[in-house]
Amino acid sequence: MASSAKPMPQSLRHIPASARPLALAHWLYAVAAMVVVIVMVGGITRLTESGLSITHWSLVTGILPPLTEQAWQAEFDLYRQTGEFRFESGPAGMDLPAFKFIYFWEWFHRILGRLIGLAFLLPMVWFWIRGAIPQGYKPRLLALFALICGQGALGWYMVASGVGTDLTDVSHFRLSAHLLTALFLLGGLVWTARDLQILARDPAVRPAILTMQSLAIGSIVFVQLLLGAWVAGLNAGHAAYDWPLMNGQFLPQPDLSKGWPWALTHDPFLLHFLHRWWAWIAVAALVWLARRVRKSDRMASIAIHSAFGTMFLLGVATVLSEVSLWVAVSHQLVGALLVASIAWGMHSDGAQQARGK
């Protein structure tokens, strides 16, 4: 009986079979690196209060910044209608040069988002047309691309919460959704790249599975990341500049004027406190994960230890520096690297379980 398999494209016949999934893995790692960069730039955008500097969304025409003084003035006039300018930036004396500075970071953040979309879509189409995507990976790649597109939509949804209102910041709920989706995308890119690396070495090996232990660790880390996003969105890092106490107290009096549910999601002092101390639970979970994968993947174990240790120290430094821009940005950057290392460790644990060891 004749085989029904499609003939291999001529352009791929000279490439060793193991090199094809490896090429895809390298491509996904490159996209993951871009996601790490955009998370860092997103931190700069937040810390410089740049997020509301562009009050509209233009997918194509928004690629170019204003090119004339008249165009700059028109953008500045739009920004001056926001609550952020009327109640915060304007009274502080913001002028056009200062506006150009914050506009740059928001524009650069959006440009990076577009570049990530293209850096994923174009190679995916190329690999797809040439039949280089291994069986079972097309749905995964489409899901990752959908996450990238969803990130763009969430970014605008976040900005829209501060446009046409009296709010001086975007919604911290929408900000957390935007950031956590980016970090979930980063983890998915690393996980899929690791699966492709294994496939390149041995096509008979099963992909890694998500173990219950990894799911529990991921849930603990998710809480810490969510708290961190809310702290950033509410400027709660400024609630206290001492450590380990907060303004000389272990637990400052939370604002209970609107009840506990409100305080748990809106009170800067309480959220700052929770972010500080939940970190110890996250550290314990990550130490356990690192020890669990130490024998099967020593480098993953080292990466996890290095990332959470550095992030913890940068978190303390951020507080003591009174939220210095570059210290706080470094804290967010290492946070993204920590997520990548956790995905690496969880994958190593899942790969070991898939092999039945």
User: Residue 315: pLDDT band by 50, 70, 90 thresholds?
Assistant: very high
> Which range has the top average pLDDT, 62-71, 244-253, 293-302?
293-302
DSSP letter for 357, please: -
- For the CA atoms of 58, 59, 65, 71, what is the dihedral angle to 10 degrees? -20
User: Residue 11: pLDDT band by 50, 70, 90 thresholds?
Assistant: very low
Distance CA 331, CA 313 (A): 9
Query: Residue 249's beta-bridge partner residues?
Result: 246
191-210 pLDDT per residue, tens: 999 999 999 888 888 888 89
For residues 107-123, give the mean pLDDT: 96
Report residue 162 as tokens.
Answer: 């501060």
What is the pTM (predicted TM-score) of this model?
A: 0.90
Q: Count how many residues are written for the chain.
A: 357
Q: Please check whether residue 107 is in contact with residue 69, taking contact to mean a CB–CB distance below 8 angstroms.
A: no
Neighbour-count burial of 275, counting CB atoms closer than 10 A to its CB (0-12 exposed, 13-18 middle, 19+ buried):
buried
Whether residue 176 has pLDDT greater than 90: yes
Q: What are phi and psi of 252, to 5 degrees?
A: -60, 150
Neighbour-count burial of 64, counting CB atoms closer than 10 A to its CB (0-12 exposed, 13-18 middle, 19+ buried):
exposed
For residues 311-339, give the mean pLDDT: 96
- For the CA atoms of 147, 153, 154, 157, what is the dihedral angle to 10 degrees? -170
Handedness of CA 42, 44, 45, 46 (dihedral sign): positive
255-272 pLDDT per residue, tens: 777 777 888 899 999 999
Q: What are phi and psi of 339, to 5 degrees?
A: -60, -45
131-141 pLDDT per residue, tens: 899 988 999 99
Q: Is 249 helix (H, G, I), strand (E, B) or coil?
A: strand
Residue 93 has what pLDDT?
81
Q: Find the DSSP H helices in the chain.
A: 19-47, 69-79, 83-84, 96-129, 138-160, 172-201, 212-233, 260-266, 268-292, 298-320, 325-354
Whether residue 69 has pLDDT greater than 90: yes
DSSP letter for 51, please: T
Which residues, 6+ apart, have CB-to-CB distance to 340 below 8 Å?
Answer: 32, 36, 186, 187, 190
Q: Please check whether residue 31 is in contact with residue 193, taking contact to mean a CB–CB distance below 8 angstroms.
A: no
